[in-house]
Chains A and B, each alone.
Chain A
Amino acid sequence: MNEALRCKTAIVGIGATEFSADSGRSEQCLAAEAVLAALGDAGLGPDDVDGIVNSDFDTTNQIDVINSVGLRNIQGYATIGHGGGSPCGTVAQAAMMVASGACSCVVAYRSLNERSGHRYGSSEPIASFPWVYGLHAPYGLIVPAEWTAMHARRRMIEFGDTREQWAEVPVAFRANANRNPRAVMRDKPLTREDYLAAPILAEPLCRYDYCLETDGAVAYVVTSAARARTLRAVPAYIHTAVQATSFPIWYQTNWYRGSFTTGSEVVAMGESLWRRSGLGPRNIDVAQIYDHFAPLVLTSLEDLGFCRKGEGAQFVAEGRIDPGGELPLNTAGGLLSEGYIHGWNLIAEGVRQVRGTSTAQVEDVEFSLVTSCWGAPTSAVILSR
């Protein structure tokens, strides 16, 4: 979305199911519950909704959500591409649908039984890119964690990163999760010692470098800024939402790109984000950085311009990413410790930080950043008060 749409729309409702290892119900049921919860949070009902948006990796068809929730007035629908790259792109899409006048109230959802159903960490190929699997799976790089280990090792080679430095990220996010009653890891503390003692699964990564696998759903509601001001929740204005990719692009881990330690798609997304928002990294009060793997948080911070290339490990040290730090990150616990709803729970937390309702609330938040995944065509949103 361009500058003309800045703050013309807002997220006015967020909803979620519980996050668990076994939801005990279908993804369709989870999606319907999250949608209804988001509408309830906004003080709206199913009849107010005239647009629906979701992610391409959703196995719950919009038709089934329409039929379950009883959405009787749908005038627009869109499914946004690229899995973990899609979440903030759905915000951009919903904002454009509302700001253009095509729709007045859009609900967006993501639902998955990622732990009890199909797991992205399983040995089955990802259906949407079978031939790519053939370039690394026959050698035993089967799952995203194993691909990412190659990137993490290269960080060690190029920048001298150590596991002691990487520990900062999962330990900080876990402390946030320990304050968050919704978090899967709310009752499980994590120390640096735990991290360093954990068995290595795909060297150099251990389990605490990996995101969780979670059952659950998240939904949110977007309407116009004018209408948002009449509703019950503090509006989280969609200041700027962008999608971007680079050329060439790949399917998460790009073995072939010029710099293996730079996410050229995140660099492109960051350039668009800062240009279109008129803001810069220094303006961001709190950020939810897509954390599928802990070392990729460092790479993402570099690629977005929060620090220079190769300095991510130093940047996250000394409490800088804690709630009272210079750049508090993933304040609900992130995908590493709150739950893995494919990046959508990061949007909900970005909204809470604007509302002032986070369990690790940062003081006086004006600009709250949320990003989607490193490695694929991606997206980001800046929410503002």
Chain B
Amino acid sequence: MTQQMPESPRPLPQIERDHEAWWAGLRRHELLVQDCPRCSKRIFPPQPMCPHCRSTERAWHRLSPRGKVYSWVVVRRPSHPWFADKVPYPVVLVEMEEGFRFVGGIDCAPEALRAGLCVEAGFEDVNDQVTLLRFRVAE
């Protein structure tokens, strides 16, 4: 049953111990991937243990903010009350030039979206804990 709550806060991430560094990076407006100091493999989403060499040491690599639209969705019927007055809104899946994909919002009219559109990561500070990705079309 759809719950009609008097206030419908935006869905926000639950920041857990193993992912704190990633969210901290977003707060600094940095897009990070895990960079294993032992075997140099890059990993996203973050893991407490490197699945390649099993090291629990962790380090981070700051990705270039540039990427291309890989796929996208335009939500026309909201499934969460917070988005009710925001439809239609686009959500993009961006392939970064260093090879990882991220979901994010985008400042772009839905009809302007196409595969391969060059974008740059931007950042939306929601509160003290949470900064979200918001892409923009590259110049």
Contacts and interface: CB of A to CB of B under 8 A. Distances in A.
Interface of A: 116-117, 119, 121-125, 130-131, 133-143, 145-146, 149-151, 153-154, 157, 199-203, 247-248, 255-256, 260
A200 B31 CA distance: 33
Given A131-B13, A134-B12, A202-B73, A255 B101 contact: yes
Interface in B1-35: 1-3, 10-16, 19
A155 to B, nearest CB: 9
A256 B79 contact: no
B1 to A, nearest CB: 7
A202 B74 contact: yes
A149 B77 CA distance: 13
B51 A248 contact: yes
Contacts of A130: 14
B60 interface: no
B103 interface: yes
Contacts of A137: 11, 13, 80
B13 A201 contact: no
A121 B80 CA distance: 10
B18 to A, nearest CB: 8
B105 A140 contact: yes
Specify the main secondary structure of chain B where it touches its partner.
loop
A151 B80 CA distance: 21
Nearest to A149: B73
A199 to B, nearest CB: 7
B15 A134 contact: yes
A138 B10 contact: yes
Contacts of A256: 44-45, 100-101
A359 to B, nearest CB: 32
A146 B91 CA distance: 10
A137 B83 CA distance: 11
B14 A136 contact: no
A140 B75 contact: yes
Nearest to A136: B103
Given A123-B11, A134-B13, A135-B13, A146 B73 contact: yes
Interface string B89-121: 101010000001111110000100001000000
Contacts of A138: 10-13, 126, 130, 132
Contact of A133 (B13, B45, B86): B13
Given A149-B75, A157-B115, A256-B44, 19 more contacts: A119-B1, A122-B3, A125-B11, A133-B14, A139-B103, A139-B104, A139-B105, A139-B132, A140-B75, A140-B91, A141-B103, A142-B79, A146-B91, A151-B71, A154-B71, A154-B93, A202-B77, A203-B76, A248-B51
B83 A140 contact: yes
10 contacts: A117-B1, A138-B10, A139-B104, A139-B133, A142-B11, A146-B91, A153-B71, A157-B115, A201-B76, A203-B73
B81 interface: yes
A203 B74 contact: yes
Contacts of B93: 150, 154, 255, 260
Given A153-B71, A202-B75, A139 B101 contact: no
Contacts of B73: 141, 146, 149-150, 153, 202-203
A142 B2 CA distance: 13
Contacts of B102: 255
Contacts of B19: 131
A143 B80 CA distance: 9
Given A139-B104, A140-B83, A260 B11 contact: no
Contact of B14 (A124, A134, A143, A248): A134
Interface string B55-82: 0000000000000001111111111110
A320 B13 CA distance: 44
